[in-house]
Structures are given as structure tokens and as C-alpha cells.
Amino acid sequence: MKRITLFQIVLTVFFAAGGTAAAQNNLPPDVQAMAKKVMMPLVLKVPGMDKVKVIQNLKYTKSDDPNVLMDIYIPPGLAEGVKRPAVIFLHGGAKTDYTPKDWGIYTTWGRLIAASGFVGVTFTHRLEYPNTSLEKAAADVRDAISYVRSNADKYHVDKDRICLSAYSAGGPLLTLALRGDMPFIRCLVGFYSFMDIQQSDYAKTENPEAVKAFSPITYLETDTSKIPPMFLARAGHDEVPTMLDSIDRFVAKALSANVALTLMNHPQGVHGFDNQNDDDRSREIIRGAIEFIRAHLGNENPK
């Protein structure tokens, strides 16, 4: 099976890790193997991850999709009234039936960020790469941000110190914070994430205006002073078509526009290296992302 074909299957089928065991067993062996990957934990662990308080399956939007739910990860031992900055995770493109918020990669990111002193927020949204879905997913992201800020007191959140962290096809959703109307979003993180979808398969399903509006690179053509500091993690062996090109062009243009950008590259990293490449460089990049977040949201070291 060719890599590009497998990747397309991965986007639409292998996320069945969230489905029934019977359904998974009916998949081809190579697809079953890929399905297991999303359930693998991060390659970095820190003390306190097992003590994090997790509030699950919150209904954060009016969507009638029963899978569009949110989990919140709260640092252990917080006294009443104590607030911490929040990191909101934006998963890549997958049907909501597969409940991405429940994948091992995101449950461990939630625990890792909470054990590092922040409130972690994972949620399932309606992004289906490359199917027409950008506007629906963006509405879910806006609702998620609104829910977190509206319930800040309940969940120990400092509503004016928020980071968005996007993965893979979730990169286009970072554009919501590039338009100058969310000053409470202090920084952005992208792990192997699309920074320009004008050459991606979205160009075949979405209208040209949406494709341009949801391409982060578009906002380098306007007032870049509105762009929050950014951290990008690049996988040197990323197999997703046009992914590396989109990141590389964004980085070159962002630097020429003097954007506050931090780039960390994993030369041997594959797409999803944070739970696939169990090596020192992966751990270094994950730590680097956390320290970047700490620098821009506040020094919230766990006690």
C-alpha cells in the first residue's frame, strides 16, 4: 500500500480506535496498526500526571452531535479561588464518531500540561480533513473558548491567559487567533500542523475564500503585530502531502515579517512524533513547547 493511500485511510478510517473492537478487527492489519498509534501516550512523562483532576464529557456547544464534548484537566491540589492559565488543544481532522479527545495522545497531553501547572482543555470538534468542515470546526472552537472563559471560576482558569495548541489538520483553526479579536489568547503552538492549506486537499472541497481565510500564512500579509508569539514543531520525515512545504513557507515568510516565532525541528520525526518517536529529541521539543507556553502565559510551576 502506498504511503499517500495509507495516509488517506488514516484520516478517514484508522481513527476507529475510538470505535468498537469488532469494527477495528474488520480493518486490514496495516490499518489496525495505524489505529493503535493515536491511542499511544506521549513519549514524555512528568511527576504528578496521575494526580491530575479530570472533568469529562462536558457539553460546551449547542451542537446536536453527541460526540462534541470537552474534557478539562486541572492541576492537582489547587486551593479554592486559585486560577491558572489554560491550554486548549485542537486536534486534527477526524470524524466526531472517533472522539479524538479520548485518544491517548490527547489524554496524556492534557495530563502533562496540567501537571506542568496549567489547565488543559481537550475537546472533540467537527473538523474532517479534507471534507468540507472548516466553518463547522471553527464554530466549535469559538464555542469551546467561550465555554472555558464563561466557566473560568468553576475550572480554576485565568480567562485572560490562554494558549491554543493545534495538531496536523487542526493548524488552520489557529487562524481564529490571528484576526486581532482575541487578545486573551497570548500564544499559539502548532505541532506538525498545516500553516497553509491552499495547496492541500481542502482546495478540492472548500471554496477558495474559506481556504485562504483558514490558512495561517494569509495573516502574514496583514498587520503582523496582531499575531501572538508562535511555537512550531516540525517533523523532518512528515509523510503528509504538502505539510512540510506549508510549514517551511510559513516560517520563511514569518521571519521576514519579524513575527515572534520559535521553531523546533525533529530531523527524524514522523507525523505525530510526540507519541511515535520515543527519543530524546521528541522529549526536548515537548519540553520546549511547555517552556514556551510558560514564558508567555506565566511562570505557573507546579508546587
pLDDT digits (tens, 9 = 90+) for 165-195: 999 999 999 999 999 899 999 999 999 999 9
The secondary structure of residue 184, as a DSSP letter, is: T
What pLDDT was estimated at residue 293? Answer: 98
What pLDDT was estimated at residue 11? Answer: 44
Those residues whose C-beta lies under 8 Å from the C-beta of residue 124, and which sit 6 or more positions away, are 67, 68, 69, 70, 91, 96, 99, 100, 101, 102
pTM of the model: 0.91
DSSP alpha helix (H) spans, the chain: 3-12, 21-25, 29-37, 104-115, 134-150, 208-213, 243-256, 273-276, 280-297
What pLDDT was estimated at residue 190? Answer: 98
- Is residue 84 within 8 A of residue 119, CB to CB? The reply is yes
What pLDDT was estimated at residue 31? Answer: 54
296 is written with which cell numbers?
Answer: 508567555
What pLDDT was estimated at residue 14? Answer: 38
Cis peptide before 229 (omega within 30 of 0): no
What pLDDT was estimated at residue 300? Answer: 66
Whole-angstrom distance, CA of residue 191 vs CA of residue 121: 16
What is the SS3 assignment for 189?
A: strand
Whole-angstrom distance, CA of residue 166 vs CA of residue 156: 22
Q: What sign does the dihedral 147-113-235-255 (CA atoms) show? A: positive
Whole-angstrom distance, CA of residue 13 vs CA of residue 131: 14
- Is residue 177 within 8 A of residue 170, CB to CB? The reply is no
Which residues of the chain are modeled with pLDDT < 50? Answer: 1-23
What is the SS3 assignment for 85?
A: strand
Whole-angstrom distance, CA of residue 274 vs CA of residue 277: 6
